Structure 1
Amino acid sequence: MRFRIKKVINNNILCVTDADGSEMIVTGRGLGFGHKVGEQVDSASVQKTYRMTNPTVQQKLLDLLEQIPYEHFLLTDELVGEIRKRISYPLNESLLITLADHINFAIKRQKQGLLYKNPLLEPIRECYPEEFKMGRYCIKRIKEKLSVSLPEDEAGFIALHIVNAELNTSMSVMNDITRFVDGCIKVIESYYGKKFDHTSLAFSRLAVHLRFFAQRLFQNGQDSGKEEYDKKFRSLIARNCKEHYQCAETVAAYAENVWHKKVSDEEILFMAIHLKRVNLSEQHSD
């Protein structure tokens, strides 16, 4: 197969069209050297192909590739591949773009001696342990491949980009979600008068529940279907899991009083179930 060159981005990257006229970005060492728009290039010389499902995202990728070093993009592509292997949630295709842009900017700052503190580092470490682990992996690979040592604050920033790709939201909303989840955990631990084992599977499940609960609260709103069924079920949970149901109501009060977010009865119900699970797990591990 042969591609027709639509734009030469640099010596290693081309924007091309295939036989159907579909646009894509192709990369390879020296792939664009000496080539001009309108010429053809053999697909056998292409190392990687990028075709985003969203045309806007495709254009953003094209714009980014004109601005960052090829080595930074190649490494980010490797990192995103590893992240996708290790993270169980679907990730937005924009992760490659946002992470490449961030890594390139972080490397520039480091070389200029400009270090940014991450004010959310501890909440990120607590609320998103798997993503934070991947953030640390990324800065380790950056050091190995590019000989640039980034601080652990950057592992936190990278973790947020990963969570952002999971939740399909903006980074500004992501910051609010992180603060909100951290606040919820503090409310829950204060209610029970103890600090949970943040390395336990049950706590990890609770943190994930709070993360997606926060996303629904900050972005999509909440469903309120099956009211009659929920009333009966809610009454049953409220009786049998009284302590945990009251804790869930306390979290809902925090959301409303501090964040001005109204929590539905359904959310309170399912949070109570998660709170019971994390408490049972803590008891069994004692």
Structure 2
Amino acid sequence: MRITKVFNNNAVLGLDPVGGERVLLGTGIGFGVRPGDPVDASLIGKTFVPTHGTPPERLVRLLADIPADDLDLAAEVLEDVQDVLGPDAAEHVLLPLADHLSFVLRRTRDGAPAIEYPLQWEVPTLYPAEAALARRALRVVERVRGVRLPDAEAVPVALHFVNAQLGTADMSQTVQLTRVLTEVLQLIADDLGVRIDPDATVTARFITHLRYLVVDLRAERAPRSAPDDQMAAALRDARPREWGTAERVAALVGERFGRTVDPTEVPLLALHVDRLRSEGDR
């Protein structure tokens, strides 16, 4: 990795071998070096990934405003859940999670009322695994700091964990995704006249598929897989109602994100819709 910009003695911007930017922190990592010099890996303390919403300069400013012990607390929270999120989660969400925890701990110390977050129902329903991790994270905060944060804080923390799995730090995109997922499930329930069980395995698999469909859509990547034309035609003929619902799902997702969903996604969506219908008919 090579240095592309020096912010100060303890912060630089590095470029990895595949062209990815990283904000690198470490005592003395920026001292006496210039753009183009190799990074001394032994000096790297923490690594952060800049995003469209949080460019490198803003990352460095945020880091200057977050107390070091709050940054360490967020790192401990992520270390506790990395068995689920993976070891790279901290690169994307350590800083925004630290910023949020610092903010809510300060409010709690000041005796401010708990924040009423939107999506109180949607987040635990759509992301049960991340919601469970968020409750676990609040217990880590209580153990480390001796402060019991309001239960409602599990909502934003869970959204940070969703971000970690999607490889982004942009909370607004995840909030938008959550609202679109809710719309999609309601569309399917209304179209087919069934109740969607939020706890069913088929629902969890469908939501996972939609999450990665949206990631690919935003990145303008081709679908990851698709049935062949013969299988798709057979499915369309055998399940015309579910196929029509899948087409409406694709149109809704495309409209909400300002993209065109590849037609090869429709058979995959139809398979998920059929499973949701079967589960709802039980």
Q: How does 1:266-281 map to 2 (within 5 A)?
A: 266-280=264-278
Do residues 161 (structure 1) and 166 (structure 2) align? no
Question: Is contact 1:92–1:166 with CA below 8 Å preserved after alignment?
Answer: no
Secondary structure of the residue aligned to 1:121 is: coil
Q: How many residues align?
A: 253
Q: What is the alpha-carbon root mean square deviation over aligned residues?
A: 3.7
| In 1: Cα distance, 2:49 partner to 2:123 partner | 30
| In 1: Cα distance, 2:89 partner to 2:274 partner | 30
Secondary structure of the residue aligned to 1:272 is: helix
Question: Is contact 1:16–1:24 with CA below 8 Å preserved after alignment?
Answer: no
| In 1: Cα distance, 2:201 partner to 2:259 partner | 28
In the TM superposition, what is the alpha-carbon distance from 1:204 to its structure 2 partner? Answer: 0.8
| In 2: Cα distance, 1:25 partner to 1:129 partner | 38
Do residues 211 (structure 1) and 207 (structure 2) align? no
In structure 2, the residue matched to 1:50 is 46
Give structure 2 stretches of 5+ with no counterpart: 1-7, 12-24, 31-36
Question: Is contact 1:167–1:215 with CA below 8 Å preserved after alignment?
Answer: yes
Question: Is contact 2:196–2:203 with CA below 8 Å preserved after alignment?
Answer: yes
In structure 2, the residue matched to 1:33 is none
1:67-103 CA-partner distances (Å, limit 9, x unpaired): 3333322221111112221236963612111111111
Secondary structure of the residue aligned to 2:121 is: helix
Question: Is contact 2:48–2:95 with CA below 8 Å preserved after alignment?
Answer: no
Do residues 16 (structure 1) and 54 (structure 2) align? no
| In 2: Cα distance, 1:157 partner to 1:235 partner | 42
Distance 1:142 1:25, change over 3 A: farther
Give structure 1 stretches of 5+ with no counterpart: 27-47
In structure 1, the residue matched to 2:137 is 138
Question: Is contact 2:197–2:203 with CA below 8 Å preserved after alignment?
Answer: yes
Q: How does 1:100-139 map to 2 (within 5 A)?
A: 100-112=98-110, 113-139=112-138
| In 1: Cα distance, 2:246 partner to 2:160 partner | 28
1:188-223 CA-partner distances (Å, limit 9, x unpaired): 122222223222222111111122223334x12353
Question: Is contact 1:89–1:166 with CA below 8 Å preserved after alignment?
Answer: no
Distance 1:278 1:92, change over 3 A: farther
In structure 1, the residue matched to 2:146 is 147
Out of 75, 82, 89, which is 2:80 matched to? 82
Secondary structure of the residue aligned to 2:28 is: strand
In the TM superposition, what is the alpha-carbon distance from 1:60 to its structure 2 partner? Answer: 6.3
Distance 1:225 1:98, change over 3 A: closer
Q: How does 1:162-241 map to 2 (within 5 A)?
A: 162-169=161-168, 170-217=170-217, 219-221=218-220, 223=222, 230-241=228-239
Q: Which amino acid aligns with 2:206?
A: L
1:14-48 CA-partner distances (Å, limit 9, x unpaired): 52349x9625697xxxxxxxxxxxxxxxxxxxxx9
In the TM superposition, what is the alpha-carbon distance from 1:281 to its structure 2 partner? Answer: 5.1
In the TM superposition, what is the alpha-carbon distance from 1:243 to its structure 2 partner? Answer: 3.0
| In 2: Cα distance, 1:23 partner to 1:85 partner | 28
Q: Choose 1 or 2 for highest CA Rg.
A: 1
In the TM superposition, what is the alpha-carbon distance from 1:245 to its structure 2 partner? Answer: 1.3
Q: Which amino acid aligns with 2:27?
A: C
Q: Which amino acid aligns with 2:238?
A: N
Secondary structure of the residue aligned to 2:264 is: helix
Secondary structure of the residue aligned to 1:194 is: coil
| In 2: Cα distance, 1:118 partner to 1:66 partner | 27
Q: List 4+ stretches of structure 1 deviating above 6 A.
A: 53-61, 224-227
Could you tell which deviates more after superposition, 49-58 or 135-144? 49-58
TM-score of the pair, normalised by structure 2: 0.73
| In 1: Cα distance, 2:235 partner to 2:261 partner | 17
Q: Which amino acid aligns with 1:16?
A: G
Q: Which amino acid aligns with 2:68?
A: Y
Name the % identity: 23
| In 2: Cα distance, 1:141 partner to 1:166 partner | 20
In the TM superposition, what is the alpha-carbon distance from 1:120 to its structure 2 partner? Answer: 1.4
